[in-house]
């Protein structure tokens, strides 16, 4: 299914809870705040099946809040895996509970994870995430690598005056451990940024000089056009760096449909207000064609934010 900009939906980004045990300074709440209760495990499974059938998608990423705070998260992953409709089941997490849950998640069918890790310094970690848990999270990351949740990606939101001096150390760390570094430029539309006067001006770091250096030093460069238009640089130490820079070109490559934990379907991180809640339809067991009309309506609201 394509939107009005001729962009085909290829990925589902599914929030399973709004709960989080962190207080990240740049949190955007995945673009929405729930208006009703969370979908049940059965509703999540049903909706994942419906979306795969309608959109012919084979990739899904589970998020939160913090998805590992959802008590039934392993059951959710197992149920979706057993649908045999998704070839790539991934998750974005802060990593706090990975030590205990990595093996169970892998056994349930999770393929890979993204972990928020914007620093290798415990004191800076506490500033960014509001949690004094760097060493615990690092153990969880290594546990995830050990059990096979790979490729493992580290989400590094670069912030001026906080962690902007750590880029090379992060690259080296990823090269040594066969991780992928996602270099993320702060976006002005973030809810946290908008609600804190001067936040963006204080912490925004222009990544264009870094990208220029990457272009000069990389042994291979490609553009991932099957999601957003993001460049991927392979460096001499074998580390891979993906660059995420908000802008029109980036938006024009977006192929995501988002699902809130309350059943709200929406097409853009910053326009959840254009979404449609599908929860009542799930309760009434509508026909597939009825669900298709709802999904099509949401897809047609998608437009480049930037």
The C-alpha atoms of residue 118 and residue 155 are separated, in whole angstroms, by: 7
Give residue 75's pLDDT: 98
Q: What is the pLDDT of residues 110-140, one digit of tens each?
A: 999 999 999 999 999 999 999 999 999 999 9
Would you call 232 helix, strand, or coil by DSSP? strand
Whether the predicted pLDDT of 306 surpasses 60: no
| pLDDT, greater one: 198 or 76 | 76
Of 194 and 114, the one with more pLDDT: 114
- Per-residue pLDDT band for 194 (boundaries 50, 70, 90) equals low
Mean of pLDDT values over 22-38: 77
Lay out the sheet containing 264-266: strands in order across: 220-224, 230-234, 240-244, 180-185, 153-158, 112-116, 88-93, 59-63, 11-15, 256-259, 264-266, 276-277
Task: With cut-offs at 50, 70 and 90, classify the pLDDT of residue 189.
Answer: low
Reported confidence tier of residue 192, pLDDT bands at 50, 70, 90: very low
Mean pLDDT of 171-190: 89
pTM: 0.91
Tell how far CA 306 is from the center of its chain.
19
Q: pLDDT confidence of 105, banded at 50, 70, 90?
A: very high
Answer for the pair 120, 78: CB distance below 8 angstroms, yes or no: no
* Interval 139-147 mean pLDDT: 98
Q: What is the mean pLDDT of residues 234-258?
A: 84
What average pLDDT does this structure show over 212-221?
94
Count of CB atoms within 10 A of residue 69's CB?
18
- Cα 245–chain centre separation: 14
pLDDT of residue 193: 47
> Residue 213 pLDDT more than 90?
yes
What is the model's pLDDT at position 104? 98
pLDDT in tens, 34-50: 777 899 999 999 999 99
More confident residue, 227 or 281: 281
Instruction: List, in order of start, the domains of the chain with CATH numbers.
Output: 11-299 (3.20.20.70)
What mean pLDDT is predicted for residues 188-208?
74
Least Cα distance to 105 among 116, 117, 89, 94 occurs for 89
Q: For all residues of the chain together, what is the average pLDDT? A: 89
What is the rounded CA–CA span in Å between residue 240 and residue 233? 6
Q: Which residue has the higher pLDDT, 184 or 27?
A: 184
């Amino acid at each position: 299914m394509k939107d009005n900009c001729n962009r085909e939906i290829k990925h589902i980004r599914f929030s399973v809870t709004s709960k989080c045990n962190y207080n990240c300074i740049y949190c955007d709440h995945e673009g929405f705040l729930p208006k009703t209760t969370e979908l049940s495990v059965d509703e999540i499974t049903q909706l994942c099946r419906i979306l795969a059938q309608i959109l012919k998608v084979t990739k899904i990423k589970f998020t939160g809040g913090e998805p590992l705070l959802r008590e039934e998260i392993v059951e959710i992953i197992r149920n979706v895996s057993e649908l045999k409709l998704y070839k790539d089941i991934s998750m974005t997490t802060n990593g706090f509970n990975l030590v205990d849950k990595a093996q169970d998640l892998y056994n349930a069918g999770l393929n890979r994870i993204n972990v928020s890790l914007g620093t290798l310094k415990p004191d800076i970690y506490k500033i960014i995430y509001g949690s004094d848990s760097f060493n615990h999270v690092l153990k969880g990351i290594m546990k995830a690598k050990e059990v096979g949740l790979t490729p493992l990606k580290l989400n590094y939101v670069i912030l001026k005056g906080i962690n902007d001096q750590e880029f090379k150390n992060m690259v080296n760390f990823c090269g040594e451990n066969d991780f992928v570094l996602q270099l993320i430029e702060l976006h002005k539309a973030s809810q946290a940024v908008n609600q804190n006067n001067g936040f963006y001006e204080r912490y925004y770091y222009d990544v264009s000089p870094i990208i220029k250096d990457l272009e000069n030093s990389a042994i291979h460069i490609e553009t991932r056009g099957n999601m957003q238009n993001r460049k991927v640089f392979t460096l001499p130490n074998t580390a891979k760096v993906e660059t995420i820079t908000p802008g029109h070109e980036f938006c024009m490559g977006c192929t995501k449909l988002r699902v809130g934990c309350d059943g709200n379907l929406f097409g853009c991180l910053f326009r959840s207000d254009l979404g449609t809640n599908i929860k009542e339809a799930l309760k009434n067991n509508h026909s597939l064609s009825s669900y298709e009309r709802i999904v099509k309506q949401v897809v047609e609201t998608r437009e480049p934010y930037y």
